């Protein structure tokens, strides 16, 4: 990438010039990062869908959560929802990063 300085009447302009090889390399890097972020988002959403919080040591429901019997074990519904929400938020951040990178790749051409 070359950076040239061009002076005008009262201001100085910086002109960026890059070779087609550099642009292709940058585009490929952005595409790879986009794919990585999308794969991470998918994995995090899968984790979110499968997380379960068990309340085996808990005597009974507390005022802040709901416990039910599931397969002979105490299952914390509220705790599971909180965990799912956390993992889903991480997935949303990864998906947002993928979308921003994809937009940058599209604008690069």
Say how many CA atoms lie within 13 Å of 5 toward its Cβ: 3
Tell me the per-residue pLDDT of 48-104, one tens digit each, with 9 for 90 and over: 999 998 887 766 556 667 888 888 888 888 889 999 999 999 999 999 999 999 999
| Total domains, the chain | 1
Print the domain residue range for 80.
30-108
Which segment of 13-17, 34-38, 46-50, 88-92 scores lowest on mean pLDDT?
13-17
What is the model's pLDDT at position 79? Answer: 87
Whether 53 maps to a domain, the answer reads: yes
* Residue 2 reports pLDDT greater than 60: no
Contacts of 67 (CB under 8 A, 6+ apart): 55, 58, 60, 61, 74, 75, 76, 77
Whether 12 maps to a domain, the answer reads: no
* Residue 20 reports pLDDT greater than 90: no
pLDDT level of residue 27 (50, 70, 90 thresholds): very high
Q: Which residues on adjacent β-strands are paired with residue 2?
A: 17
Whether 68 maps to a domain, the answer reads: yes
Whether 97 maps to a domain, the answer reads: yes
CA–CA dist 88, 45 (Å, integer) = 6
Confirm if 37 and 94 have CB atoms less than 8 A apart: yes
What is the model's pLDDT at position 102? Answer: 96
pLDDT level of residue 36 (50, 70, 90 thresholds): very high
């Amino acid at each position: 990438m070359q950076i040239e300085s061009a002076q005008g009447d009262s201001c100085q302009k910086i002109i960026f010039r890059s070779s087609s090889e550099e642009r292709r390399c940058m585009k490929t890097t952005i595409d790879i990062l986009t794919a990585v972020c999308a794969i991470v988002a998918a994995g995090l959403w899968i984790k979110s869908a499968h997380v379960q919080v068990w309340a085996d040591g808990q005597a009974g429901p507390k005022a802040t959560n709901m416990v039910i019997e599931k397969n002979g074990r105490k299952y914390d519904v509220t705790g599971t929802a909180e965990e799912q929400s956390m993992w889903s938020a991480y997935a949303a951040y990864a998906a947002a990063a993928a979308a921003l990178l994809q937009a940058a790749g599209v604008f690069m051409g």
